[in-house]
Each structure stands twice: as structure tokens, then as C-alpha cells.
A and B are shown apart, each in its own frame.
Chain A
Amino acid sequence: MLTDRRPRLAQLAGWALIAVAAAAIAFIPLPGVNTTPRHVTIRVEAAKFAFAPSELSVNSGDTVTLELVSTDVVHGLYVDQYDLGVEADPGQTSRLTFVADKPGSFRIRCNVACGQYHPFMIGRLTVGTPIAFWRAAGLALLAMAAIILGAVRPAREAPAT
């Protein structure tokens, strides 16, 4: 590739800036939205092949009790990354209590085979803000900006193929 005519130092500075910005986006802890931890109980009904409600939302730090009520067959409720699960027969509500100390967006799934589409019986638990998504989107935005800004720098020509 033809080298850019800008001074090498400026080019290195540009890369360093991008690297720092990327690290910041990826790792800087956000100021916690300081909500008082509550005790939250959410009744979740499970039928083939969905949870109702399927999107749950709590604050970071809450003590969450999920009441699993199966309405047709034996179902389970498992929370990704918290690695906690419980199962319930119809007629026997089960409870799963835990402290939501990990912020983010987590899938909840049925972990008891309940029929053909059981692997897709999935819901979502959001604790606080879905921070991992925002970081990823931020990185993509940074990448787009860097590439576009790189593209509009003058005197850049594509290599002959």
C-alpha cells in the first residue's frame, strides 16, 4: 500500500487514541445507578414454549425471587451466567431466590425437556442496564468512525489489485 504522507508520529498518535478509546469503552465501569436494593418477586408462568412474562427487569443489587408456575407440563427456569435453575411441576410452584449482583442482560431458559421446541424456550432477564451491549455497540461505533475518518483523509489511493 502507498504510505500515507502524514507524519508517522501523527499516525501513531491516531492509533493510540483509538486504542485508548476502545479500552475505555470496553472496560471503564459505569457509575452505578444507585437504587436501593429491593426484594422483588416475579411470578413467571411457563407453558410450551414460552415464559410469561418473557422479559423481566430488575435493578442491580435486588434480591429477586422468581416464582415458576408451570401451566402444562414440567418446566424449568435457568438463568444464564448466574448458573441457577429450578424446576416446577404443574400445581407445585417453585421459587428461585438470588441476589442480582451481576448487571447486564441474561437469557432465561427452560432446562427441563418439555417438548419439541424446548431448546428455544428462552426469555430475558435484564439486571440494571444491558451494559455488555452498549459497550459492544460503542466499539462498533468507534470502529466505524475510525474507518470512515480514515477514508476521508485526502491523498489516499487504493492499491492496484
Chain B
Amino acid sequence: MKPRSIVLSTRGMSLLKKRGWQVALTTVMLAGLVFTAVAGWIGTPIGSRNFAIAFVWIGWFAALIIFLIPFIGRGWCSICPIPTVGDWVQRGNVLNPQGSRPRGLGLRVPAIFRNMWTQNAAFALLALFSAAILTSPRVTSVTLASMVFLAIGLSLVFERRAFCRYVCPMGGFVGLYSQVAPIELRVTSLERCAACQTKACYNGSANGYGCPWGVFPASLTRNNFCGLCLECLRTCPNKNITLRTRPFAADLAMPSTRPDEAFKSLIMLGSAMVYAAVLLGPWSAFKNAAFSIGSLAWITYAGVFLMLVLGLLPGSLWLVGRLSQRFTPGVEGTRTNPSARAQSPFAVFATPLVPLGLAFWVAFSLTFFLTNGSYVLSSISDPLGLGWNLIGTAGVTWQPMLAGAIAPLQTAILVGGFIWAARVARRVTTQVRLPSTPLIGFLFLPTVAMLWLLI
């Protein structure tokens, strides 16, 4: 089924191919990151009055999860400043390839790391420290700076964007949820790719660099690992690559069978619930455990969190998969279904967690943003808490927005997300010839839990 798509015009494509705007935008983002890191370090330690917290975790993160990812997928990655300096150092240039040798060792990332497990671990680790990261400007500053330096270091050792593809904790979920977005970068004709001698999209050429994400564009069937950096648009000699629209979540029609992705969606689902319980809930024992980083209580909290996202949730999903297999009527009415028993449906069954998890995160972030969004305004006027008033909003007092609309909005998002996930569940279970009811039931429980936590 060919997606109804709006393909960019030739003029549009040629505009995208120009490098200048992308370098300019990325530089602006880099300047923003440097400003944030400096403001976080020397500015007021009060998170709500420091640009590093208010703008990054209240403003930018809400924009990312509520708008950027659902509508332009990995669009943020195309202008993200974190790998930028590493790229420039690795390439030896900020613009087109100049023919100079790339700096650094250019090693291939070892096979054992060429998966999402490192990103899963990085995200889970960050989640354990999230109470401090989300509230302390200095911790945010150090976190951002560390990511930049790590990216630079990895760029000097490995080829391409090793940090983005295999390490970045944000990239894990940005990629996962980008499957929902209505835009995609794909090749137009596989025959032309087959006939191409240079494969400049992957190997680079005088017009641009080989895919920094280590993706061979002809093999792109999902958005997960394409960072929309548009290098392949510039290098393809056959005008065979295009950026186009498509229906939402078209990628979920071909569910992934990768366990690392399945675990990623389980980690995201679980951490959304834990955040809602600990950060927005009334249980002071949990909060104190999460805040007192390094204490015995925190170690217990960390243990419980990891058991939930790496044990309980995956275990339950696996169990649901097995139970579905056991209770599937066969073609002649027997209780066995040999073809389904051959492989565990675990990864496939994790597919509905993509829309469900996204809905959880959108609902959680929306509450956070509507409650604390007023801090974003004041932090623009007085980013360091020095008493400035750049755009006149420094005196804006804390005031929750749309308080009465939050419950209906969250209901719509969570129930809507559940409905969407249940429909995806029906489709994927049909594809593997298993009943959908157990999986839909499995999706229902966290949905109700999240409703109870948030509403």
C-alpha cells in the first residue's frame, strides 16, 4: 500500500540540500547549549529560576515529546548540538568535505555494541538520577557538558556518529517514538540503488559525508535510526532519496522483532509510571528515597525501579506472549498452533507499547508543563537569576495554566493512546496468528495505573 505522501518539490529538495541553513541552525543550538551549561553552572542554584532547568526540562523537553517527536520524528536530531563539535573535529571541516583525511581513528563500533542495549542502560541510569538532574542547574550543566565531551571522544575513536547511534540516552526514545511521525526519509526506487556503483549515500562523496548514522538508505523501512541529517540527500548521485509525508505510525505496520527495542519501549513505559508516582504522587517515602541519592533508601528505590522496567514488565509481556500461544485454537480446532510456537512473540508484542508509551510520556509532560510553564517565561528574562528583566517577564509569578482542563486532556491522551495501542495490538497479533485479547488486557492495566497516578 503506497502511502499517501507529499513529496517535497525539486525546489524544496534543493533548499534542503544546501548545507548553510543546517550549520547555522545547529550553531544556534550549540550556542544555546553553551549558554545553558554556563547559566547552569554560575547562575542561581534555584532550578525554577535558572534557564538551564526551566527552559530545558520544562520548555524544551515538553516541546520535544509533545510536538517534535510525534510530528517530525527525529527532526530534533538533525539540529542537535551535542554531536556537532565531535562531527566537526572528526571531519576536520564544518562545511562540505574538503578532501582532507578525517581525524580520529575511524574504528568500526564493535559488534557487541551495535544495538540499543547501551542506550537502554544509559537511559535507565539517567532515570535513577533524574530527581537531581531535573532540579539542579549544576547537575544539568555537567550532564550536558559530559554528553558533548563523550560525543567528541567517541568521534575521535569511532567512525560516524557513534554517540548518537549507540549511546545517546535521548536518542533511544526519540528513535523509538519517531515511528509514529508522519514524515519519513526513504529511497524512491530500489532498482536505482541496486544499479548504483558508488553507494555514495553510505560511503560519502565530494558533496557530503557517508551516513553518520551508519544506515544504508536503501534498507530504511522505519524511522528509528535515521537522524534526518540529510547527508544522503546531498550525496546520492541518482536523486533517489526523498523526504516525504506518510500516515501516522506507518512504521508500526511492520513490527520490529528486536529485543533491545522491545526492552526500550518497556523501560519507557515503566519509567513514565515511576516518574508519575514519585514526582507527581503524594507518597513522601518514595520521593525521599528518590531524592536521597547514594543512600540506602535510594539504592532500594533504584533496585525496585530496575526490577520493574527490566524484570516485571518484560516478564509480564513474555508471559502474555506465552499464554497467548498456549490458548490459540488451531486450524482444525486443536489447542496447538505450531507456527506460532516457533518463536517468542515478545518483541512483536512490544509494538503496541510504542503508541502507549508515547501517550504516557505526553500526558506526564503535559501536566508538568501546564503546571510549571510559567517558569519558562521568567527564565527567559532572567536566565541566571541575577535580577535581569530582558523581555519584561522576570516578574511573572508561578501560576498553573489550564488547571481545569488537565484531567480531560490526560483522559483523552491516555484513553486515546490505549485505543491506538489496542488497534496496533490487534494488527500485530493477527499477523502472528495469536489472539489479541491477552495483549490488549496487558495494555489496559498500565493504562489504568497511569490514569490513577495522573488524574
Contact = CB atoms under 8 A, between A and B. Distances in A.
A137 interface: yes
Contact of B403 (A80, A137, A159): A80
Nearest to B135: A116
Chief secondary structure at chain A's binding surface:
mixed
A132 interface: yes
Contacts of A144: 418, 422, 440-441, 444
A122 B290 CA distance: 14
Contacts of A139: 411, 415
Contact of A140 (B254, B418, B427): B418
Interface stretch (B97-105, B157-165, B335-343, B429-437): B429-437
Interface string B101-141: 00000000000000000000000000000011011100000
Interface in A70-91: 80-81, 83
Interface in B400-448: 400, 403-404, 407, 410-411, 414-415, 418-419, 422-423, 426-427, 430-431, 436-437, 440-441, 444, 447-448
**Nearest 4 A-B pairs (CB), nearest first?**
A50-B284, A158-B430, A124-B282, A136-B411
A144 B407 CA distance: 20
A81 B404 contact: yes
B418 A122 contact: no
Given A122-B281, A124-B282, A113 B451 contact: no
Contacts of A148: 436-437, 440
Interface in A9-51: 49-51
Contact of B419 (A147, A152, A157): A147
A63 interface: no
Interface of B: 1, 45-49, 131-132, 134-136, 253-254, 278-284, 287-288, 291, 371-372, 398, 400, 403-404, 407, 410-411, 414-415, 418-419, 422-423, 426-427, 430-431, 436-437, 440-441, 444, 447-448, 451-452, 455
Interface of A: 49-52, 54-55, 80-81, 83, 104-105, 107, 111, 113, 116-120, 122-124, 130, 132-133, 135-137, 139-141, 143-144, 147-148, 151-152, 157-159, 161
B455 A111 contact: no
Chief secondary structure at chain B's binding surface:
helix
A143 B419 contact: yes
B69 to A, nearest CB: 24
A137 B410 CA distance: 12
Query: Which of A54, A123, A140 gathers the greatest number of chain B CB atoms within 10 Å?
Result: A140
A158 B431 contact: yes
Contacts of B414: 136, 140
Contacts of A143: 415, 418-419, 422
A136 B282 contact: no
Given A122-B282, A130-B455, A117 B291 contact: yes
Contacts of A113: 46, 48-49
Contact of B447 (A123, A135, A140): A140
A130 B29 CA distance: 44
B282 A54 contact: yes
A55 to B, nearest CB: 5
Contact of A137 (B49, B423, B426, B452): B452
